[in-house]
Every structure is written in structure tokens, then in C-alpha cells.
Amino acid sequence: MTSTALRSELAVRGVALDAPVRRRGGAGPSDDGHVLLDGVGTALPIVATSRYRVSEGRLLLDGADLGLDVEPVRRPAFYDLRTADGIPYHQIARLHGADVLATTVVQTCVRYAPEQRCRFCAIEESLRSGATTAVKTPAQLAEVAEAAVRLDGVRQLVLTTGTSAGRDRGARHLARCVRAVVEAVPDLAIQVQCEPPEELAVLGDLRDAGAVSIGIHVESLDEQVRRRWMPGKGSVPLSEYRAAWREAVRVFGRNQVSTYLIVGLGEDPDELVAGAAELVELGVYPFVVPLRPIAGTLAVDVDGAVTPPAAVVADVTSRVAALLRAADMTGADQRAGCAACGACSALRSAGA
Ligand code: SF4
């Protein structure tokens, strides 16, 4: 198992390699290559100038072999297929890690005006670049999911969405998509991700549709950080997040609900860990990831943001992992989703 310190270093500094499975831009905070690191699905930033390099399947630091195998995840066979109306499957959903299918069902966000958008997010950039389509229909997702399971052994599906203007904040379309996929591939475990819906009953609709876990992502519990980094989303009171998490835990179960916490947004590490403790207490898994500023985001294009120090990432990750272990909440116990996948966080290397 990779140590938390090394995993944090890699998350922050990235590696130089040519990974065939890679996503650029998209929702959320990363732009990574997908590899098996010591046999474990891992998303690593590709940084051509990194001191960490993959050569002949081994991880090197300044040319010295660190004793770990790195195998790029192979390009999945379903990427070569197209829908009847000619859309390549890879524009509808992408392979994450080794066995997770993931997509953003609505690739636009009501909060994407420059003064509103999350400064680390590039959700509409992959749409502009032509890498994906604006709205994935339930039928398209069912078709692609069936092929990904059959041809590539995919075991989980992660469905996220840009936020809509409706009171459901996009959850109703997610529920329609889940229903269609479950009908086509009943054994595929599905996680949905959305903002806290104003009508909490829609969380029950998502569960009834067949989703087994949910991510309701706050990114930070620090109000100043929220206002600065997420002016639009940060206007949703934390009380709405807490109400949605509680209801989601009631509906989906303890440790089937998760949220991202991003290290490197300027939050005091002790406060971040204290916030994680509150989440664990609620039964919500805090999925700790470092900020990865990517091109096309305001964080890079305007702010010149940089990644946090690896030592801070390792410290916060270790402390949050200890909280999770003490509460008997591990990512492996989640049935689907980012915590179950674990590729974007160092938490798994810390035993959570
Ligand atoms: S942790 Fe989430 S975003 Fe990262 S590779 Fe896994 S499913 Fe994708």
C-alpha cells in the first residue's frame, strides 16, 4: 500500500506519464490520468515537469525506483462505440479509475456566470471543447452503461449534474437517468451527486429510482472560504446542507452519503478536521481531496492558485482517516461513488 505521505505528494506534484485514460476539465476540481498504482485504481495529475515519472511500469523519483508498479488503465472497449444517432459513447460517459463509469448528466450549471461559479470548476469547458454533450438522456446512459459493464467490467456508475434552476437542483433528471440504467443493468451500483435540493423528498425519489449512495458536496464548511471560492453555491446556507445530509443518511443509510472537502482553499487545517468530525458524526463520509487548479478555471486563469503543500494534505488526510476508522466508516463500505472508488483521494492509503 502506498504511504499517505507519498500518495499526497503524488496528488500535489503529479507524475509525468502518458496515460490513455484521462479526463480534461469537467465538473469538480481535477484533471487526472487514471492508473493502477501498486494495483489500486488511482487518479494522478499528469504534470510533464514532475520529479515523479513513470518509466517501464515503475514509479521513479528523480530517476530512482520507488518500488511501486504503475500500470495505466487501458482504454476501454466501449469508447469505440457510438449511439444510433452517431454520438461516441465516450462523449456520454467516461471511465474513471479502473472500473467506474462516470458522467455529468447536465453539463451546464445555473451558477456558471463568472461572478457566481465555483472558482475550481470547469464544468462547461468540456462542453465548449466538444468533448461531451450538454444533456445525457436516460436512454443514452442506459445504452452506454450496459456496454461498459458487458465489455469492460465496470462495477459502479457515478452520475453528477450541473445545478438547474429548479427546486430539485437537477435531482429529478438524475432520478430519471438512474431508473433507466437500473432497468438496463440492475446490478450496477449507482451513486448520484447534486446540491441539496430545496424539496428534500426528491432524495427519496433518487433512492426509489435505484441509486445506492449519494454525494452532496459542500467542498468547505468555512463561510469565508465558501463566499470566496463558491460565490453562487456558497449562498446556499450550510443549514440546507445539514438538513439534506441528515435526510440523505436517513434514506440511503449511514456511510452511504459523502461530501467533498477540498484542502487548499485557505481553510485552517484544524477547522477542516473539526468540520470532518461533525460530518462523520452525521454519518457522512468527508472525501478529502487536495485542490488541483486546472486550466479553464477561474482559480488558474484569474487567481493563479496553486496546489497546497503535500505535508498539509497528508496531515489533514491522516487525521480525517483516523476519525473515519474510529467511526467504522470506510470508503470500501460505500456501495458506489467517489469514496467507494477512492482514486482521487489519499484517504484509502490512510486506511479509510
Ligand atoms: S474518486 Fe470520483 S471523480 Fe475520482 S476517479 Fe473515482 S469516481 Fe471519478
- Atom number of ligand 1 nearest to Cα 287: 1
User: Whose alpha carbon is nearest atom 8 of ligand 1?
Assistant: 96
Take residue 267 and report the three cell numbers written for it.
Answer: 481553510
Which residue type sits at 271?
A: E
Evaluate if residue 180 carries a pLDDT over 90: yes
pLDDT the model gives residue 1: 59
Mean pLDDT estimate for the chain: 92
For residue 244, give its domain range: 4-350
Alpha carbon of 109 to ligand 1 centroid (Å): 20
Q: Count other C-beta atoms under 10 Å from residue 100's C-beta.
A: 26
pLDDT reading at 23 higher than 90: no
pLDDT digits (tens, 9 = 90+) for 131-154: 899 999 999 999 999 999 999 999
Mean pLDDT, residues 273-280 taken together: 98
**Model pLDDT for residues 106-126, shown as the tens digit of each residue:** 999 999 998 999 999 988 988
The confidence score (pLDDT) of residue 29 equals 38
Q: For residue 158, how far is its CA from the centre of ligand 1 (angstroms)? A: 8
Could you report the per-residue pLDDT of 63-100, keeping only the tens digit for each?
Answer: 999 999 999 888 899 999 999 889 999 999 999 988 99
Q: Are 54 and 16 in contact (CB under 8 A)?
A: yes
- Mean local confidence (pLDDT), 165-194: 97
Pocket around ligand 1: residues whose beta carbon is below 6 Å from it?
Answer: 43, 96-97, 100, 102, 158, 338, 341, 343-344
- 77 and 47 Cβ atoms separated by less than 8 Å: no
Considering only CA atoms, which residue is closest to atom 4 of ligand 1? 344
Residue 24 has pLDDT above 90, yes or no: no
Q: Which residue has the cell 465538473?
A: 27
Round to whole Å and give the CA distance between 174 and 249. 18
For 52, phi then psi, to 5°, come to: -90, 130
Measure 333 CA to ligand 1 centroid, in angstroms. 16
Query: Where does the pLDDT of residue 326 fall: very low under 50, low under 70, confident under 90, or very high at 90 and above?
Result: very high
CA–centroid distance, residue 273 to ligand 1 (Å): 22
Res 18: pLDDT: 59
Read off the CATH number of the domain in which 43 is found: 3.20.20.70
pLDDT tier for residue 299 given thresholds of 50, 70 and 90: confident
Asked if residue 17 has pLDDT above 80, the reply is: no
- How close is the Cα of 135 to the center of ligand 1, in Å? 20
In 3D space, the residue among 217, 25, 319 whose CA is nearest the CA of residue 226 turns out to be: 217
Counted domains in the chain: 1
The DSSP annotation for 175-216 comes to HHHHHHHHHH-TT-EEEEE-PPPSSTHHHHHHHHHT--EEE-
